Amino acid sequence: MSLAVGSTIGILGGGQLGQMLAVAAGRLGYRTAFLEPDPLAPAASFSRQIQAAFDDEDAIFQLESLAQVITLEFENVPAPTLEGLERPLRPAAAICRLASDRRLEKKALEQAGLPVAPYRVLDPQDDDLVLQRALSELGSGLLKTATLGYDGHGQARVSDLAELREALGRQGPSVLEQEVPFTRELSVQVARNPSGQVALSGVIENLHEGGILRRSHYPPQASPQVQERARELARRLANAWSLEGLLTLELFELPDGSLLVNELAPRVHNSGHLSLDGGGFSQFEIQIRAVCDLPLLDFAPEREVFMINLLGWPSPEQEPDLAALLRLPGTHLHLYGKRWRPLRKLGHVNVTGPQAAEIAAEVSALLR
Ligand code: AMP
């Protein structure tokens, strides 16, 4: 049953994703309240903040007394908080838990029949024989921390036992993943509402540098068949897990056109920011619709759109010329109101229009 207009949606986390979810909820006639410890939370410009730690029981009680349903913009909320909620959590705690631990995530993906890169779960206690076997079976690979990794943090490329031992000691329990020769990185989103209706996004092409997303583009260069397969994987997962809410799948396309799932997010995603200005529904509106059990429709952008992340510049005096950027036709600047820190995600620029590719290149150059 749809959530009544005027009800409140609780959001766990108050970063830029929470900010944009709050805007989308407000446009549909809902109020929002969010739990977030950061006193400078971007979502505070549009939503009511409960400023406390994610395991603060009084704060959770307060959130639940305001909200009729809870969603999230940040998956690393402690499991006891997620599991102890009395209001419906969308996506469910079990899905959020999977997405916050690579070991569980990969196993669950395999069980649902989705392909992942070959991997081994490793622990600092494992002896050299185990580590050596993993290396010889996988070849050199990426050691990714099991929990709390993001934007290339908690990740190391390792090619011999000494490197693996050192990185494992530093990172703690991790997954060693074979390095795959992908031709493209793609993402796709799927939303499903409690009534069982499913909606898919367009397939987005992503460019990362140093593990951080720099730029996304719709439509992707991938063939229509590859895009259809990506959407099919997302649909299969949403149905297998009886998803309520929105999930993002990050994928690798291999030279033969096959796909591997790299990772999942149980929420809107940085790559999906281009949906704000590409026409059609935004990922934020779709997550809100799914959470509120409103009707869902597929949400591919209606026109070509590029998204370029505005990352914290290397030093304060290298601040980019945002006025020059705003003068470029077809640019849509989104700033999150966050304090500068090198490489921190401070905003993004969407570029549309007849000259989109050229202007996107200019924007990328201005934001270097
Ligand atoms: P992740 O934190 O897992 O999203 O990884 C960040 C980025 O590192 C990805 O977007 C890829 O560019 C790269 N990467 C991650 N895993 C692999 C892999 N198994 N093989 C090759 N590149 C990878």
Tell me: do 221 and 314 sit in the same domain: yes
Q: Does residue 101 form part of some domain?
A: no
Last residue of a domain, one of 161, 178, 195: 178
Per-10-residue mean pLDDT of the chain, 368 residues long, equals 97 98 98 98 98 98 98 94 97 96 97 97 96 94 90 86 96 96 98 98 97 97 98 98 98 98 97 97 98 98 98 94 96 97 97 97 94
Last residue of a domain, one of 135, 163, 178: 178
| Element housing 264 (H / E) | strand 259-265
Distinct helix (H) and strand (E) counts, the chain: 11, 17
**Which residue, judged by its Cα, is nearest atom 20 of ligand 1?**
179
Cβ of 117 below 6 Å from ligand 1: yes
- Number of domains observed in the structure of the chain: 3
Residue 64 burial (CB < 10 Å; 0-12/13-18/19+)?
middle
Tell me: do 168 and 206 sit in the same domain: no
Tell me: do 158 and 263 sit in the same domain: no
Q: Does residue 246 form part of some domain?
A: yes
Tell me: do 158 and 305 sit in the same domain: no
Q: Does residue 38 form part of some domain?
A: yes
**CA 99 – ligand 1 centroid, Å:** 16
- Please give the pLDDT value at position 149: 75
Last residue of a domain, one of 128, 156, 178: 178
Tell me: do 72 and 123 sit in the same domain: no
- CATH number for the domain including 356? 3.30.470.20
CA 60 to CA 85: how far, in whole Å? 8
| 70 neighbors 90 (Cβ within 8 angstroms) | yes
- Please give the pLDDT value at position 364: 96
- Please give the pLDDT value at position 148: 84
Q: Does residue 326 form part of some domain?
A: yes
Cβ of 179 below 6 Å from ligand 1: yes
- CATH number for the domain including 166? 3.30.1490.20
Tell me: do 191 and 338 sit in the same domain: yes
**CA 263 – ligand 1 centroid, Å:** 9
- CATH number for the domain including 54? 3.40.50.20
CA 82 to CA 72: how far, in whole Å? 10
Tell me: do 307 and 335 sit in the same domain: yes
Tell me: do 306 and 207 sit in the same domain: yes
Test site for ligand 1: of 142, 186, 213, most ligand atoms within 8 A of the Cβ: 142
- Please give the pLDDT value at position 177: 97
Q: Does residue 96 form part of some domain?
A: no
The C-alpha angle 108, 114, 118, rounded to 5 degrees, equals 80
DSSP class per residue in 267-289: S--GGGGGGGTSSS--HHHHHHH
Tell me: do 247 and 349 sit in the same domain: yes
Cβ of 180 below 6 Å from ligand 1: yes
**Which residue, judged by its Cα, is nearest atom 8 of ligand 1?**
211
**CA 366 – ligand 1 centroid, Å:** 26
CA 208 to CA 247: how far, in whole Å? 20
Q: Does residue 1 form part of some domain?
A: no
- Please give the pLDDT value at position 306: 98
Tell me: do 250 and 289 sit in the same domain: yes
Tell me: do 163 and 198 sit in the same domain: no
**CA 182 – ligand 1 centroid, Å:** 10
Q: Does residue 291 form part of some domain?
A: yes
Tell me: do 172 and 192 sit in the same domain: no
Report how far apart the first and last C-alpha atoms of the chain are (Å, whole number): 47
Q: Which domain holds residue 52?
A: 8-89
Q: Does residue 2 form part of some domain?
A: no
